[in-house]
């Protein structure tokens, strides 16, 4: 802060109007002209040093130390403002690192099934299968129950004797009886070859139609007996496609003059749909039980290596 009591009075320069300019040198004449010109100019702005002092004065007013104005005629004492105290650095508390998340336990597959629980689909995941792509079984239904001793014994005898496995079911409260058999390898090869030829010719265009045709031909060959207990209808069907494909069979599909496999399967299909599976209801019912039979066979096949599963057959 600058005290006005310490400032010296600025001298006032007066221009003498009686100066004889003829006696002045050229340099003095220029100085006289400059002096006259300065009298006519507006007052000069404050010096840079004064501006700097004013800025320091403003800064000092922002601090905690303030100076009061003194009365006139009194000389201010020498005062030195205390230096500002630099703030101390504050230490932040160090937090512990977040705990490492534990790994989830490994997934363990169980045999418990709950038909009412449906797992929501995540984004980008594929939709679950509705039907088994192999046998057409409705996957929303309860899983097949444990095979009983008779089913295990019948399957074991078919394996040891290398003969088709046969299973019988009662429908509509025991009013209808249906019987199915497993196919031989050659019979399945004929089914797949015929359907593949139909696909190559353009008769089958989608994968859904492909598997639908395979399952239908399998059904027509697996179905060996369909009858009602009251005797209203009885259909005893051949238990083999041909002697070449199933040497252990007793009755074969025989169409005179038809030896081509696609034509023979087409003839078998026409016979079943015309004489046996006439309505959509009976066609769908028999198809569902055939799918159930194939699921039973699949379960018996996958349990071959389980000794506990076959203890009852000893």
CA 221, CA 265: separation in Å to the nearest integer?
Answer: 9
pLDDT digits (tens, 9 = 90+) for 40-88: 656 656 556 566 666 666 655 555 555 555 556 555 555 555 555 565 5
pTM: 0.54
pLDDT of residue 181: 94
How many domains is the chain built from? 1
- pLDDT band for 25, please (50, 70, 90 cuts): confident
In a domain, 177, yes or no: yes
Residue 287 inside a domain? The answer is yes
Q: Quick one: tokens of 117?
A: 């629980």
Q: CB-based contacts of 170: which residues, under 8 Å, 6+ apart?
A: 176, 177
Distance (Å, rounded) from C-alpha 188 to C-alpha 245? 9
Lowest mean pLDDT of 113-127, 152-166, 212-226, 284-298, name the range.
113-127
Domain that holds residue 255: 167-305
Distance between CA atoms of residues 51 and 33, nearest Å: 30
pLDDT at 222: 95
Reduced to 3 states (helix: H, G, I; strand: E, B; else coil), residue 129 is coil
Structural domain includes residue 16: no
95 in any annotated domain: no
pLDDT of residue 265: 92
Give a yes or no: residue 191 inside a domain: yes
- pLDDT for 50 equals 64
Percent of the chain with pLDDT over 90: 33
Whether 188 is in a domain gets the answer yes
Residue 32 belongs to some domain of the structure: no
Return the higher-pLDDT residue of 303 and 10. Answer: 303
Residue 14: which pLDDT band, with cuts at 50, 70 and 90? low
Quote the pLDDT of residue 268.
93
Residue 183 scores a pLDDT above 80: yes
Name the one residue in this structure whose structure tokens are 């003839």.
267
Q: Is residue 221 part of a domain?
A: yes
């Amino acid at each position: 802060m600058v005290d006005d009591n310490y400032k010296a009075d600025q001298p006032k320069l007066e221009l003498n109007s009686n100066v004889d300019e003829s006696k002045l040198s050229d340099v003095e004449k220029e100085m006289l002209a400059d002096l006259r010109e300065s009298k006519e100019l507006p007052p000069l702005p404050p010096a840079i040093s004064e501006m700097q002092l004013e800025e320091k004065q403003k800064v000092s007013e922002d601090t905690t130390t303030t100076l009061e104005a003194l009365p006139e005629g009194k000389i201010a004492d020498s005062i030195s403002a205390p230096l500002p105290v630099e703030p101390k650095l504050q230490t932040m508390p160090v937090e512990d690192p977040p705990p490492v998340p534990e790994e989830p336990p490994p997934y363990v597959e169980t045999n418990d099934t709950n038909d009412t629980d449906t797992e929501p689909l995540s984004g980008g995941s594929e939709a679950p299968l509705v039907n088994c792509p192999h046998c057409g079984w409705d996957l929303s239904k309860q899983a097949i129950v444990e095979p009983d001793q008779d089913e295990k014994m019948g399957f074991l005898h078919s394996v040891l004797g290398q003969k088709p496995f046969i299973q019988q079911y009662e429908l509509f409260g025991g009013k209808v009886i249906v019987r199915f058999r497993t196919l031989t390898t050659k019979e399945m090869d004929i089914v797949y070859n015929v359907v593949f030829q139909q696909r190559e010719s353009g008769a089958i265009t989608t994968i859904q139609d492909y598997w639908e045709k395979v399952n239908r031909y399998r059904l027509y060959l697996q179905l060996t007996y369909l009858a009602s207990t009251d005797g209203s209808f009885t259909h005893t069907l051949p238990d083999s496609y041909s002697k070449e494909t199933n040497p252990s069979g007793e009755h074969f599909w025989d169409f005179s003059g038809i030896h081509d496999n696609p034509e023979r399967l087409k003839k078998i299909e026409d016979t079943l749909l015309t004489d046996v599976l006439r309505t959509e209801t009976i066609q769908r019912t028999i198809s569902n039980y055939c799918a159930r039979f194939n699921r039973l066979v699949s379960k018996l096949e996958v349990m071959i290596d389980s000794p506990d599963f076959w203890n009852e057959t000893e």
